[in-house]
Structure 1
Amino acid sequence: MNLPSTGALTPPVLPSAAEVLALHDRLLGTTGWPQQAPATDGLGLWHWVQTNHRNNSLLWAEEDLARRTTVAAEAIAANKRAIDGYNQARNDATERVDEILLVALGLVDPASARTDAPVSTVLPSARLNSETAGSMIDRLSIMALKAHAMRQQTQRTDVDEAHRAASTVKLQRLLQQRDDLAACLDALLADAAAGRAYFKVYRQFKMYNDPRFNPELVKERRGA
């Protein structure tokens, strides 16, 4: 399988939503995914888009496992801890996507892009978009997973036709939602490239994963 090039982006070379959708769908159809991931070239944009999608895929599977009702509580606890880890990794990859795109668009000083206080080079007239391009790509990954799972429901042979028909209707709605979001991503990147819009990297600061901030983990460390 040939993935899009992972080389450094330089304006005006930016990812299209169609490329993102194609990668998401192609990976979902790859044998061994998500436990095994195709190799990527370096640590460029497409590496992090794939990493985000892989962690969303692993997270999806753990969410299913965490809903089991006939296994020991310890198994569910293990699922919940895995979910926390995949969620953190998913958010980390989203931030890397945003950092790379902001540098490619010339909207941030490259040396400061990965810090908590990146130096903006945005035009004063540009509008701030409330959602980042990375978070839109993250949502497209989740939409791809939803559509993939719903498509499987339309192909089941152990259910009646009413189930398959209802699933087909839902699948079409999901695909429309994904197309709409994809169009919004293209529009944001076009506006950002033209100097009309910008976005920022928003650090997630997942406090529950950090033993320094989670009050229950702080108490455990203190022996309370």
Structure 2
Amino acid sequence: MTTLPPVSTLTQLQIDCVEKWHNEPISNPYSGFEELVCRQHEFNYRLWHEEDIARSPEATDERIAGVKRSIDKLNQARNDMIEKIDDAITELLAAAGVGDTSALPINTETSGSAIDRLSIMSLRLYHYAEQRDREDATDEHRQKVDQRVALCQVQHADLSNSLQTLLDDLFAGRKQHKTYRQMKMYNDPSLNPEIYRAKG
């Protein structure tokens, strides 16, 4: 892993994968940093569709319970991948010769978290377009969804530009980079009282 692709490459990867995975089995043909982004994106893709199932009025209590456990595992893996992406950026910064930046300003979110948000936004854009283009959609429905698509596109562009600026600042030594550990408690049997009490 020697280079960091531009944000436009990463967002296109996310957009392309969402469309491809709806039509063929999930795959990850990438390498290096892009492979990590695709892997993280896959967890968001799976989460999106599990959450759809959980909200179905036809889902049984047993089905919802199974989906909830799946969502917890996927969400843990998703957050683990955000950390891996940020760790990879740390390695790339070191390889690029960026020195100690601990005295410099730091962003309110990490690059990995922004990549995660862009992943979710690519899913939102795909599914909004899917709902807009439904054969049974009314003109009023299409107009409402079109407005939301337009807003999502603006937000996607804004976040993409902000992330690119952040990455440029990091590699120029103008900002500090850290990996923030998610430290989720709900899946840890030693920290979730509903788990460790049940084992007692």
Q: Percent identical across equivalent pairs?
A: 35
State the SS of the aligned residue for 1:55: helix
1:100 corresponds in structure 2 to 88
Aligned partners of 1:30, 1:62: CA distance in 2, in Å? 18
Deviates more, 1:29-38 or 1:186-195: 29-38
2:82 matches 1:137: no
TM-score between the two structures when normalised by the length of structure 1? 0.83
1:158 corresponds in structure 2 to 136
User: Cα distance, 1:129 vs. partner?
Assistant: 1.5
User: Cα distance, 1:70 vs. partner?
Assistant: 2.1
2:59 matches 1:71: yes
User: Cα distance, 1:126 vs. partner?
Assistant: 2.1
Aligned partners of 1:17, 1:141: CA distance in 2, in Å? 12
Aligned partners of 1:34, 1:218: CA distance in 2, in Å? 41
Aligned partners of 2:27, 2:84: CA distance in 1, in Å? 18
Contact 1:102 1:108 in 2 (8 A): no
Contact 2:11 2:118 in 1 (8 A): yes
Deviates more, 1:195-204 or 1:56-65: 195-204
State the SS of the aligned residue for 1:209: coil
1:184-199 → structure 2 map (5 Å cutoff): 184-199=162-177
Q: 1:181 to 1:107 in 2, by over 3 A?
A: farther
Aligned partners of 1:169, 1:163: CA distance in 2, in Å? 10
Equivalenced residues, count: 200
1:26 corresponds in structure 2 to 16
Displacement over 6 Å in runs of 4+: none
Q: 1:76 to 1:202 in 2, by over 3 A?
A: same
Contact 1:107 1:122 in 2 (8 A): no
Report the RMSD for the aligned CA atoms in angstroms. 2.1
Q: 1:124 to 1:209 in 2, by over 3 A?
A: closer
The one of 179, 187, 196 equivalent to 1:218 is 196
User: Cα distance, 1:38 vs. partner?
Assistant: 3.0
2:75 corresponds in structure 1 to 87
Q: Deviations over 1:98-155 (max 9, x none)?
A: 011111112999xxxxxxxxxx952355211121111000000001011111111221
Structure 2: tracts of 5 or more residues without a match: none
> Whose RCO is larger (CA < 8 A, sep 6+)?
2
TM-score between the two structures when normalised by the length of structure 2? 0.93
Structure 1: tracts of 5 or more residues without a match: 1-7, 110-119
